[in-house]
């Protein structure tokens, strides 16, 4: 059994398919597919349920899920053994950071720059994914800390900012001329672009139902840039965190929709305190210098 094939398996699961896994591993799609096939042949049974539609993501079989968890542990032990062999004196300082894929891109780039300035010898591994995915990586200790959605009960976390969910419209949209806010019922009067990463949680959906509002969804966009391009080109609206609203679009407060996302850092329990302090300081510096975050109230707040 080849370690490389185990890495192929975990990448396909983590990134939702062979194509994205190949891109992240900087390999060709046929190479990854061949590696998975060889692994399944050696195991003597399928790892993935391929009975679903062709456009659906690959899903592990029950046995595949068990093997995936074992593969994660094997790879973790390989990393531990390699670092132990190199010795602490030879090992390069390393931090693995998972970041939410709806954070402003310039904020992530700036974090790299600040960390590299603080510690030039530091190796920084960045893993981007959905809130569920980065939380899973942290739970498996595949990353050291994550920059993502948190809540007031999240352990080993620090709140960075809270921001409301706002309606997003083009500059020539009639809502852009409204002073103050629009009503929650106004949301159903225009075509709605649904962002695949929409932060409209159960509370927000309940508020829509209570107001008798049914969103008239005319587009479902996986990419943030596509969603906002659709807003620019027509009379559609969408909902998004205030920090994500591009400068050429208008954020409008929605009365009756009290939904906010809380962004913060969360870390694994035994993370080196010095490493944690370095990242927290770097993130705080990034927040203070980024114009993107001037749209919202940012603050550093410790969580016990």
pLDDT tens per residue, range 116-170:
888 777 888 999 988 888 998 998 888 999 999 998 778 889 888 888 899 999 9
Q: How many domains does the chain have?
A: 3
Q: What is the CATH number of the domain that holds 273?
A: 3.40.190.10
Q: Report the candidate in 194, 207, 131 with the shortest Cα–Cα distance to residue 168.
A: 194
Helix axis angle, 18-25 to 29-43, nearest 10°: 110
For residue 275, the SS3 value is: helix
Q: Do 296 and 226 share a domain, yes or no?
A: no
Q: Do 49 and 183 share a domain, yes or no?
A: no
Q: Do 20 and 136 share a domain, yes or no?
A: no
Q: Do 32 and 78 share a domain, yes or no?
A: yes
Q: Which domain holds residue 48?
A: 3-86
Q: Do 193 and 125 share a domain, yes or no?
A: no
Q: What is the pTM for the complete model shown?
A: 0.67
Residues 6+ positions from 260 with CB-CB distance below 8 Å: 162, 163, 164, 165
Q: Do 53 and 188 share a domain, yes or no?
A: no
Q: What is the CATH number of the domain that holds 54?
A: 1.10.10.10
pLDDT tens per residue, range 41-57:
999 999 988 776 555 56
Q: What is the CATH number of the domain that holds 185?
A: 3.40.190.290
**Which of 54, 86, 118 finishes a domain?**
86
């Amino acid at each position: 059994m080849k370690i490389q094939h185990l890495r192929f398996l975990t990448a396909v699961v983590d990134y939702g398919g062979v194509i994205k896994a190949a891109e992240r591993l900087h390999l060709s799609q046929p190479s990854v597919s061949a590696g998975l096939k060889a692994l399944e042949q050696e195991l003597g049974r399928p790892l993935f349920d391929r009975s679903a539609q062709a456009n659906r993501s690959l899903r592990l079989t029950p046995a595949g899920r068990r093997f995936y968890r074992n593969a994660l542990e094997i790879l973790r032990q390989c990393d531990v053994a390699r670092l132990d062999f190199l010795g602490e004196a030879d090992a390069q300082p390393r931090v693995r950071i998972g970041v939410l894929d709806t954070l402003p891109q310039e904020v992530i780039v700036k974090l790299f720059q600040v960390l590299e300035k603080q510690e030039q010898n530091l190796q920084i591994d960045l893993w981007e994914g959905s809130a569920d995915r980065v939380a899973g990586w942290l739970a498996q200790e595949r990353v050291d800390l994550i920059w993502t959605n948190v809540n007031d009960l999240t352990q080993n976390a620090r709140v960075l900012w809270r921001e409301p969910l706002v309606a997003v419209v083009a500059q020539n949209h009639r809502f852009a001329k409204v002073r103050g806010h629009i009503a929650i019922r106004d949301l159903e009067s225009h075509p709605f672009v649904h962002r695949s990463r929409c932060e409209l949680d159960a509370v927000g959906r309940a508020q829509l139902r209570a107001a008798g509002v049914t969103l008239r969804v005319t587009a479902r966009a996986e990419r943030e840039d596509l969603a906002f391009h659709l807003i620019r080109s027509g009379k559609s609206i969408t909902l998004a965190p205030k920090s994500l609203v591009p400068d050429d679009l208008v954020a409008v407060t929605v009365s009756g929709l009290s939904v906010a996302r809380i962004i913060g850092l969360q870390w694994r329990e035994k993370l080196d305190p010095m490493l944690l302090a370095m990242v927290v300081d770097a993130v705080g510096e990034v927040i203070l210098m980024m114009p993107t975050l001037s749209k919202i109230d940012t603050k550093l707040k410790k969580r016990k």
